[in-house]
Chain A
């Protein structure tokens, strides 16, 4: 069995993911919960229906904000060698991807407003068959990785 890729992503990813998950899950929770509450107060819908659904939604909210980012962070790894980039990501199903650097078409760093505030960037590696993204690296780290991948990819390409 191959060893896991060696590098972890920045632990500030937790903050980033929690805020993202918080916003989207909270919206979803409110969206689903409000008709139930309206149903209860305006149409006399029994608590027997409202409470279990609300409990599930709140449980989901807690899991999404608290547990899911922790698991993701624990699983996320990457490793760059001279000829290939290996990624490991996932939550329940763990995916390990190997990208030969010869196939890399371009690399870019990306940063949303929240990530910028935290000093985080992601590195997106594009091949002709799609893009793979390493999320949440420290800004300098991300730039260095991007430049390194780009340089190695150029080298790998030349002898052909």
Chain B
């Protein structure tokens, strides 16, 4: 860091002569620093603990007992793959507390994993349960077609578009002075090129499709070579075209399964399946992806093999018809207010009234899709923002349940509910709104039950919405 700052300072002053010298000093310092922290870095397994000493100036000693380890991730970036090494990340339930061994051999990674998380390692021969011996039936991959579709429907091209915009702004900053003349020349030559609406549309379409292609490629690089597998009592996910990642989690640590049907994927019947767990985030604030692109018709099969506890065959209780109005009221009123405001302020304002159509449509879909079910020891909660989200939580993973009743809801005998799950650091509250108050009460009673029969191996299937009450 420091060398970069030094360089930045002197670059700004523009002392060209000193620049090279300082750059050299900077590179030298970072080399020494890197070498030093490498020499300082020690890890070993002592009994049931993984111990790490590190740090050049501030020394850090971390001991993690084996029983507290939530996940053991192995990844290999381009740099590591060049040298045949891997990076190991050991996670605990505490957010942010983790040990990273940035470059070890894969044999060493395997040895550590065997030592620290024996339950995550596939056992050679008949050691493990014969049901999950790592046969092809317990391994799911992405076909090339699915990978392409997943990229095309990821919806991340908006992000790419803004990244392109940012890049353009940066380039403009850097190159502005030199390029302004050239650009002027260019625009004079092509004067009027973009004035024509068709050509402008063409240019915009070109930009959009470029962003789209980049986003598809990025998604494909991310999920290329994806596989998820059940080995004994753990799930192992691998992915990545260039940067390989292998993430393991013990099935015991799974708190909930979240199925997200994105706006573009839902019409095709596809969804992303996430695993919610206390210590496991692929990236900060993100849950672990169990399967990036899975068709509705296969949720059953895949969940049944990977995490049978989350198996449900059930139809969902929907909000009663007397609650329907509540779903429309807020979006319609907000849109109306915006439209009226726009009409007052601008002559073209009334066009905002057109937004009532999508707002109403989303409200309708939200009403149609909201649902909740208790099935044996498992609760299924479905709600919609833009994407339709279904969460499956076993009773023993529910930390608390809340029923919320507003004054208007009370009059109509409806209520909303919330289920607390230990996921993502501070906990996750999964909410379903405007159900019959009896249904909400059933949740409280269900959670209050002390004994709960095992839901057993019923096949997981979440039907479309259940019958109207």
Q: Measured between C-beta atoms, what is the minimum distance from B280 to chain A in Å? A: 14
A95 to B401, CA, bound (A): 10
Is the CB–CB distance between A103 and B399 below 8 Å?
yes
Chain A residues with a Cβ under 8 A of chain B: 1-2, 83-84, 90, 92-100, 103, 127-130, 132
Which of A94, A100, A128 sits near B447, CB closer than 8 Å?
A: A100
Chain A interface secondary structure, helix, strand, loop or mixed?
A: strand
Do A1 and B441 form a contact, CB below 8 Å, given A84-B448, A132-B400? yes
**Contact residues in B for A132 (Cβ distance below 8 Å):** 400
Q: Which 8 A-B pairs have the closest CB atoms?
A: A129-B427, A128-B422, A129-B420, A129-B399, A127-B399, A130-B427, A97-B402, A99-B400
Interface residues of B (CB under 8 A from A): 93, 278, 398-407, 410, 420-423, 426-429, 437, 441, 444-445, 447-448, 450
A129 to chain B, nearest CB (A): 3
Q: CB-CB < 8 A to A96: which residues of B? A: 402-405, 444
CB of B402 within 8 A of CB of A128, answer no
Q: Are B441 and A98 in contact (CB under 8 A)?
A: no
Known interface pairs A98-B448, A100-B448; A129-B428 also in contact (CB < 8 Å): yes
In contact, A128 and B401 (Cβ under 8 angstroms): no
The answer on a CB contact under 8 Å between B422 and A127 is yes
Residue of B nearest to A128 (CB): B422
13 more A-B residue pairs beyond the given contacts A84-B447, A100-B448, with a C-beta to C-beta distance below 8 A: A83-B450, A92-B407, A94-B405, A97-B400, A98-B444, A100-B398, A127-B400, A127-B420, A127-B422, A128-B422, A129-B422, A129-B429, A130-B400
Is A93 a contact of B404 with CB atoms below 8 Å? yes
Q: Give the nearest-CB partner of B443 in chain A.
A: A98
Contact in complex: A127, B427 (CB < 8 Å) = yes
Inter-chain CA distance A86–B421, complex, in Å, is 17
A83-B448, A84-B448 as given contacts; A95 in contact with B403, CB under 8 Å: yes
Q: Contacts A2-B445, A98-B444 given: A130-B403 contact, CB under 8 Å?
A: no
Greatest chain A CB density within 10 A among B278, B401, B445 is at: B401
Q: Which of B278, B402, B407, B437 has the most CB of A within 10 A?
A: B402
A84 and B429 CA atoms in complex are apart in Å by: 19
A83 to B450, CA, bound (A): 7
Instruction: Name which of A1, A95, A129 has the most chain B CB atoms within 10 A of its CB.
Output: A129
Q: A97-B401, A103-B399 are in contact. Are A130 and B444 (CB under 8 A)?
A: no
Query: How many angstroms between the C-alpha atoms of A100 and B421 in the bound complex?
Result: 13
Which residues in B have their C-beta under 8 angstroms from that of A98? 400-402, 444, 447-448
Q: List 10 contacting pairs A-B, 8 Å CB cutoff, sorted by A.
A: A1-B441, A84-B447, A90-B404, A94-B404, A96-B405, A98-B444, A99-B400, A127-B399, A129-B421, A129-B428
A130 to B403, CA, bound (A): 16
Question: Closest Cβ of chain A: how far from B319's Cβ, in Å?
Answer: 17
B441 x A128 contact (CB < 8 A): no
Can you name the residue of chain A whose Cβ is closest to the Cβ of B93? A128
Min CB distance, A128 to chain B, in Å?
A: 3
Give Cα distance in the complex from A100 to B396, angstroms: 10
Q: Kindly list chain A residues whose C-beta atoms are within 8 Å of the C-beta of B422.
A: 127-129
User: Which of A83, A93, A99, A130 is close to B405, meaning CB atoms less than 8 Å apart?
Assistant: A93
Complex contacts, A100 vs chain B, CB 8 Å: 398, 400, 447-448
**CB-based contact A129/B400 at 8 Å:** yes
